Structure 1
Amino acid sequence: MKQLINIIIGLSFLLFTACGQGKIKTPENAMTKFEEFKSKEKFLRDGKLFYPGIGDPTLKPILTEKINLAADDFKKLADKGNSTDTEYQNAIKIGLDRFADLYLQLDTEDRERVCSYFEELMDIVGLESSDGHLNDFMYGFDPTKK
């Protein structure tokens, strides 16, 4: 009987710890980093990323607004304090879907730059995976999934 109780306690412990997986505790400086991210000028030439700058300068304010909306989405989730990986990944999908109307106007470098901005947002909260959404945006499919 004692062995059965120990097994039940052990399984309960595993269940509780498994349910907590995938939660991201918001870093203390995240809100400041979101504001810094939103205020910086985007789609400028960046030699470190080998980004030549926006292909079509008329798109710069539109793309910047879309990226900043994604930052707002992340900020709202971070403000909750313990959002899940899945919630952030859904925010990535929603954010990338905002670019659908301009997708064909973006060259490869601009699409890569959009993805790098999402990676910056992921870094702010410590999200390690976009769940394939960035690959879907870049390539039309996720090459890591078969």
Structure 2
Amino acid sequence: MIHNNTERVQKLEKLLVEKKFTADEKLFYPGAPSEEVRATCEQAMNIVIQALIDTPEAGITEIEFWSLLEKAATVYKQFDSEEMERGLSYMEEIMDIYDIESSDGRLNTWRYGFDPANSH
């Protein structure tokens, strides 16, 4: 089960209010190609973040956690690969908040359609 604590909720709330999909030189991300795309991508991520903030005290299962993230990844598929990459970097931030070290290939599968680590 994945549970919240005060520190996690504070980090999620900070991420929630952040303006997303704007240019980020450290990540070599040029920013979304239009305000409409930026807002759509931001909304998809904010829905995930809010759902995690609203996690019941009993927690959520790992399956529920990954399903939330996958819904956002589905939105990013309709845009340029840069938006998918940036969306996945937000997901990595969320994984860090929850001390989740590996997506078990999920992020690669969402990005590339397969996990390159398993394609020998």
Q: Which has the higher helix share?
A: 1
Q: In the alignment, does 2:77 pair up with 1:103?
A: yes
Distance 1:50 1:81, change over 3 A: farther
Matches of 2:13 and 2:69 in 1, distance apart?
18
Distance 1:124 1:130, change over 3 A: same
Structure 1 residue 57, shift from structure 2 partner: 2.8
Structure 1 residue 113, shift from structure 2 partner: 0.3
Q: Which has the larger radius of gyration?
A: 1
Moved over 6 A (4+): none
Tell me the alpha carbon deviations over residues 86-114 of structure 1, each in whole angstroms, 9 at most, x when there is no partner. 432232223323x0xx623x222211101
Matches of 2:102 and 2:65 in 1, distance apart?
9
When the two chains are superposed, the root-mean-square deviation of aligned CA atoms in Å is 2.1
Q: Quote the residue 1:80 is aligned against.
A: 57
Long gaps (5+) in structure 2: none
Q: In the alignment, does 2:114 pair up with 1:134?
A: no
Q: Secondary structure of 1:80's partner?
A: coil
What percent of counterpart residues are identical? Answer: 32
Q: In the alignment, does 2:25 pair up with 1:47?
A: yes
Matches of 2:27 and 2:57 in 1, distance apart?
32
Distance 1:132 1:80, change over 3 A: farther
One-letter code of the match for 2:13? E
TM-score between both structures, scaled by the size of structure 2 = 0.82
Distance 1:86 1:110, change over 3 A: same
Alignment check: 8 A CA contact 2:24 2:31 kept: yes
Matches of 2:57 and 2:73 in 1, distance apart?
22
One-letter code of the match for 1:90? S
Tell me the alpha carbon deviations over residues 96-144 of structure 1, each in whole angstroms, 9 at most, x when there is no partner. 23x0xx623x222211101001111111111122232211221111112
Number of residue pairs aligned between Structure 1 and Structure 2 = 119
TM-score between both structures, scaled by the size of structure 1 = 0.69
